[in-house]
């Protein structure tokens, strides 16, 4: 199952991320149909390098003609957000039925604070970092 492979690779490479979006809603116990995976990453260069290693392991490639390493370049990232109006950096495997992994790059979120409050759920024994809902 793709989800198990994805979250296993993220854990193996120690990627700091938060699962958000429809899949996160499901893990909070509210059924919702969704196919994509929405992630918010810590965008420091070391974490992006770890994410790139996980993406390579899974054969994830950017949908747009933009290298995934752009996520670690603050100037390029600002250009993608402000000038090109990119909200999500989409990645896919060559498998046509696999879900899209969207890295949300324009999220107005204090990542470190949200990560400190994260919930952890398990999928087939694999930990998943889940953004805690604000109440």
In this predicted model, what pLDDT tens digit does every residue of 6-50 receive, in sequence order? Answer: 999 999 999 999 998 877 877 667 666 667 899 999 999 999 999
Of 73-77, 91-95, 119-123, the range with the lowest mean pLDDT is 119-123
- pLDDT bin (cut points 50, 70, 90) of residue 134 is low
Q: What is the pTM of this model?
A: 0.88
Length of the chain: 135
Q: Please say if the pLDDT value at position 125 is more than 50.
A: yes
Rounded (to 5) percent helix, strand, coil in the chain = 40, 20, 40
**For the chain, what is the radius of gyration of the CA atoms?**
14
> Domains of the chain (ranges plus CATH)?
2-130 (3.30.460)
Cα 40 to chain centroid, rounded:
5
DSSP 59: T
Element (H, E) at 4: helix 2-12
Report DSSP state, residue 97. T
Percent of the chain whose predicted confidence (pLDDT) is above 70: 93
């Amino acid at each position: 199952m793709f989800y198990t492979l994805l979250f296993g690779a993220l854990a193996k490479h120690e990627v700091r991320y938060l699962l958000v979006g429809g899949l996160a809603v499901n893990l909070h116990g509210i059924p919702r149909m969704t196919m994509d995976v929405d992630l918010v990453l810590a965008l420091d260069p070391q974490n992006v390098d770890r994410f790139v290693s996980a993406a390579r392991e899974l054969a994830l490639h950017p949908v747009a003609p933009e290298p995934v390493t752009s996520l670690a370049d603050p100037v390029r990232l600002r250009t993608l957000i402000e000038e090109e109006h990119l909200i999500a950096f989409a990645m896919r495997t060559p498998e046509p039925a696999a879900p899209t992994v969207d890295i949300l790059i324009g999220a107005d979120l204090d990542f470190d604070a949200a990560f400190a409050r994260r919930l952890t759920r398990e999928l087939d024994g694999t930990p998943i970092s889940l953004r805690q809902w604000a109440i």
